[in-house]
Amino acid sequence: MGRLDIGARLLRQCDDSALFVGRQHAVEPNAFVIELLPENHERLLASVCLVAPGLADQVCRHAAERGYTFVGPVAIDPRPAADDAAPRFPIDSRIPTVERQPQPMDGPTA
């Protein structure tokens, strides 16, 4: 398992999870969780500061080529899977919910 394998799976996940909201407009999840076997996760952690941003850039370039848009910055979160997980690493993608702060209402003043 290498960065190229993860990158290819991320791009496939992008294509599979694009949400089309019009004829030519697709919104893409921007939060990706990659479950890796513990030994692969440990290896990746040694260079996660270099790998995660590179993978996020790869996802952004792919999205631009396909005309996808994101609702926020792309985040890649590698996590260790259960010891008995299959060698193929699952990827979960989602559009995080945004918590909105209540806005003050303009009304009559006393």
Domain ranges of the chain: 3-94
pLDDT digits (tens, 9 = 90+) for 16-53: 988 888 777 888 888 998 888 887 777 777 765 667 88
CB atoms within 10 A of CB 41: 17
Q: Is 0.75 topped by the overall pTM?
A: no
Of residues 37 and 2, which shows the higher confidence score?
37
CATH architecture under which domain 3-94 falls? 2-Layer Sandwich (3.30)
* 88 touches 36 (CB < 8 A): no
Is residue 76 within 8 A of residue 94, CB to CB? The reply is: no
Q: Which amino acid is at 76?
A: I
pLDDT at 61 over 60: yes
Spell out the residues 6+ positions from residue 94 whose beta carbon is closer than 8 angstroms to its own. Answer: 29, 31
Summarize pLDDT for 63-85 with one digit per residue, the tens: 999 999 998 899 888 888 876 65
In single-letter form, the type of residue at position 108 comes to: P
Per DSSP, what are the bridge partners of residue 32?
Answer: 76, 93
